[in-house]
Structure 1
Amino acid sequence: MAEKIMDDAVNRHGLTEVVTNAETLAKATPNTGLLKAILSTKHLMNPEVLAMARTIVDKVVRDLMRSLARPITNPFTGRRDPRRRSRQHVAANFDARGTVRANLRHIDPATRRLVIREPLFNTRVRLQQDRWQVVVAVDQSGSMVNSVIHAAVTAAIFTGISAMRTHLIAFDTSVVDLTGQAADPVEVLMRVQLGGGTAINVAMEYAASLLNNPRRSIVVMISDFYEGGHDGPLIATTARLVQDGVRVLCLGALDADGRSMHNQVTAQSLAAVGAHVAVMTPTSSRPGSRR
C-alpha cells in the first residue's frame, strides 16, 4: 500500500519532493515517472539519497535502452539475406522458417515434437557505411524533461553505431557539450540541469561549428521552439545549415497526454526554410510532421 501511495504521489499528482527522502525513495517502483521526479529534484538531494536515485536512474535507463535499441539500430545494421547462411549464431539473424524446414525429418515419433538439431542463421546485407556526423542538441528547460531522457538514451545508442559520429549537447541560455559522456546516459542525466531560459540559436550555432562535412551531417534539435529572444537569428542559422547540405531535424515534444508543448509559429518558420519538423510523444512511432 505504501508503494502504491508513493507511486501515485509522483506519477499522478506530481509531488516530486517526496523523492528527496531516503525512506520513501527506497519504496518507490523504478519507472519513467519516478525518473522525471528525480531529475527535477536531484539538486535538493543529500549524498545518500542521490546515490539511491542514481541506482533508480540506471534501472529505468537500461529498460529504455532495451526497448529502443533495435528500432534505432536496424536501419544502420543492414537487412537479413535469406539466400545466404551465416555460421555466427546471432539471435537477430535467426531464420525460423528455414530452420523448421531443415529439421522436419527430426520429428520425435513419441512426443510428435520437432527436434532442432541444426538452427539456421542468415547473413546481413550491409547498408552504405559512409560515416555520418550527428549532433543531438536537446533543450534542458524544465518542460522538456521527457525529451532530455529519450535524447540521452538515443545518443547512447547512436554512439555504438560505427557508421555514425555522435555529439550530444544540452542547452538553456548556454551550451554544455556532453559528448564525452554520451555513451553513458545515466551520467548525462545526472549532469543536466533542468530549468532556466532558452537560447536555441546559441545551440544551433555551436552545432554548426562541430560539422566537418555538412553534406554528411545531421543536426537534431529537440526543443519546445520557444526562443528566449527574437527567433530571426535561429531561422537564419537553420536556413544556412540547410543551404550547406545539412539535414536539420527539429523535434518538438508533446506531453505524455498528447498536448502541444511547442511554439507552432516558430516550428512553421523552421519548416519554411527547409528543416524537417516533427512533433511527437517520446515513444510515438508515427509522428505528425511538417515536412
Structure 2
Amino acid sequence: MTDDDERLRRWRLLLGADPLEASGEGQLELDGDDRVVDRALAALYDRGARQDAAGSRTAGLGASAPRVTQWLTDIRSCFPTSVVQVLQADAMERLELATLLKEPEFLAAMTPDIHLANMLIQLADVLPERARAAAREVVRAVVEEIERRIRQRTVATVTSAINRSARTSRPRPSDIDWPRTIAANLRHYLPEHRTVVPHRLVGHARRRTGVQREVIVALDQSGSMADSVVFGSIFAAVLSTMSSLRTRLVVFDTAVVDLTELLSDPIDLLFATQLGGGTDINGAVTYCSQLVTKPAETILVLVSDLFEGGDRASLLRRVRALHASGVTMLALLALDDSGTPAFDHALAGQFAALGVPAFACTPDVFPEVLEVAINGGDLAVWAQAEAAARAEGPAGG
C-alpha cells in the first residue's frame, strides 16, 4: 500500500462513508479488520447506522441485544483498552442505554437472555449506579434460569460418577456387589454344582468422605467466549456446592485472575469478569498447574477457542507435563448453545496429539463430560460419538 493509499484509508475510517455516495463509487473499499472497525464506528457515530445498531425504540433493547453484544466484541478486538473505554462511554450517551435501563416499564418489558446479560456485564464499568442495580437484577434472572436448567442434572450425574468410581475388585464381604460379581464370572459357571465360582469379586470400596476430585475451570475471557464465560461460571458455582469436589475458577485474558472466592455468589462472580482483551493461555495453564496437588484426582477444564497470543511452545510443554503427571485435562472450544465455534484448528490438533481432547460442548451435555472424566473414560472417543449422534439428528438420519 502506498503512502497515499494509507492516508486515504485513515481518512475513510475517520470520516466514515459519504452518505451522498450511496453507490460507493469513488470511495475507498475496505476489507478485513478495516471493515470491522468501520462498522463499529458507524454504529456509534453515523446517524443512520446508529438507528440500526440501537434498534427500534418501540421494540426495546431486548431485540437488539445480540447486535450490541457483537459491537462490544468488535471494539474490544480492534482498539486498545483506553479507546474502548471512550467508545463505551459514548455508547452510553449516544445510544441512551443507561437511560433505557433506568425506566421501570422498559425493564418490565425486557426479556432477560444470555445475550442481554453479556451486554450488561461488558458495560458494567460505565453504567451509572441506578442502571448498575437494574443490570444486576436482569443478570440475576438469567443466572437463576440457567442454574435451574443445569443444577439437578449436574449434581446427580457427578455424584453418581464419583460413587461408581469407588468400585473395587477387592471388596470386604459386606461390600460385595453380588449381581455384578455373578455377571463378571458367568464363564466360570460349574453345571455339575449349579454354581458360579467367583474368580473376581466386584464391590464398592468404603465410601470416602470429604474431597474426592479437584476440578479447575479455566475460562478464556476474550469477547468471542462471552456465552461460555457465563455458562462456565455458573457451572463452577454449582460444582463448588458439592462437598465431594474442590472447585477452583480461574479467568484469564493477558492476565490471570483466581475468582474461586466468589463462587458462592454467581452474580458477583460474573460482574468480576472482564470480557474482551488478549489471550494468554500459557499463562493461565501455568497458574492452574500450580494449583494441582493430586494429579490423578484433578480434572482441568480449559474453556477457550485456543487463539493463543502467548508462548505456544511453552503452552504445549505445559500441557504435555500435566497430562503425563496424571491430570485429566480437556479443552472446551465453546460451552454454549451456539453450535460449532471458530477456533484454532492447529492448536486443537496439537492438544489432541498430546492426549488432551478439544471439542465444543453444550451446557446440557457438560455433566456427561464430567462423568466420563471422573470415571477415567476416553473423552476423545466420547466426543466423536457425541458429534456423530448430533450429526444423525433425533430421527437417526
TM-score of the two chains, using structure 1 as the length reference: 0.76
Question: What code does the residue aligned with 2:323 have?
Answer: V
Could you tell me which of 242, 250, 255 is aligned with 1:161? 242
| 3-state SS in 1 of match to 2:355 | coil
- Residue correspondences, number: 246
8 Å CA contact 1:76, 1:163 repeated in 2:
no
Aligned to 1:7: 62
C-alpha distance in structure 2 between counterparts of 1:243 and 1:181, whole Å: 31
Higher strand content, 1 or 2: 1
> In the alignment, does 2:230 pair up with 1:131?
no
More helix by share: 2
2:160 and 2:58 mapped to 1: Cα distance? 44
Structure 2 match to 1:88: none
* Distance (whole Å) between structure 2 residues aligned to residue 144 and residue 8 of structure 1: 21
2:256 alignment partner in structure 1: 175
* 3-state SS of paired residue (2:339): coil
Q: CA deviation at 1:262?
A: 1.2
Is 1:50 the counterpart of 2:128? The answer is no
Answer with 1 or 2: which has the greater Rg.
2
Matched, 1:289 2:367: no
Distance 2:260 2:214 in 1: 12
User: Using the alignment, how far apart are the partners of 1:290 and 1:266 within structure 2?
Assistant: 18
AA matched with 1:9: S
CA contact (8 A) 1:136 1:155 kept: yes
- Deviation of 1:241 (Å): 0.3
Q: Report the CA distance between 1:290 and its aligned residue.
A: 6.2
1:244 to 325, 337, 348: 325
Q: Contact 2:60–2:110 at 8 Å: present in 1 too?
A: no
Q: Which residue of 2 aligns with 1:264?
A: 345
Q: Larger deviation: 272-281 or 221-230? A: 272-281
Task: Measure how far apart 1:12 and its partner are.
Answer: 5.8
Of 58, 61, 67, which residue of structure 1 is paired with 2:149?
Answer: 67
SS of the aligned residue for 1:136 comes to strand
The alignment-based identity, stated in percent, is 32
Which of 301, 304, 312 is the aligned partner of 1:231?
312
| CA deviation after TM superposition for structure 1 residue 254, in Å | 7.3
CA separation in 2, counterparts of 1:214 and 1:172? 25
Q: Which residue of 1 aligns with 2:292?
A: 211
> Could you list the runs of 5+ residues in structure 2 that have no partner in the other structure?
1-55, 73-90, 162-205, 370-381, 386-397
Q: In 2, Cα distance between the equivalents of 1:178 and 1:3?
A: 39
Is contact 1:250-1:275 (8 Å) kept? yes
Contact 1:217 1:247 in 2 (8 A): yes
Is the alpha carbon distance of 1:255 and 1:63 closer, same or farther for their aligned partners in structure 2, counting shifts above 3 Å?
closer
For structure 1, the 5+ residue unaligned runs are: 80-125
Secondary structure (helix, strand or coil) at the match of 2:331 reads strand
Give 1:28 deviation, angstroms: 1.9
C-alpha displacement of 1:257: 4.2
Higher mean displacement: 23-32 or 272-281: 23-32
After superposition, give the CA deviation of every residue in 1:91-120 in whole Å (9 maximum; x if it has no partner): xxxxxxxxxxxxxxxxxxxxxxxxxxxxxx
Residue 138 of structure 1: CA displacement? 0.2
* 1:30 paired residue number: 112
Report the AA paired with residue 168 of structure 1: L
SS in 2 for 1:190: helix
Structure 1 residue 261, shift from structure 2 partner:
2.0
TM-score (norm 2): 0.56
| TM-aligned CA deviation for residue 169 of structure 1 | 0.7
CA gap of 1:210–1:255, structure 2 versus 1, over 3 A, is: closer
Once the two structures are TM-superposed, the CA of residue 78 in structure 1 deviates from its matched residue by 3.5
| Secondary structure of residue in 1 paired with 2:156 | helix
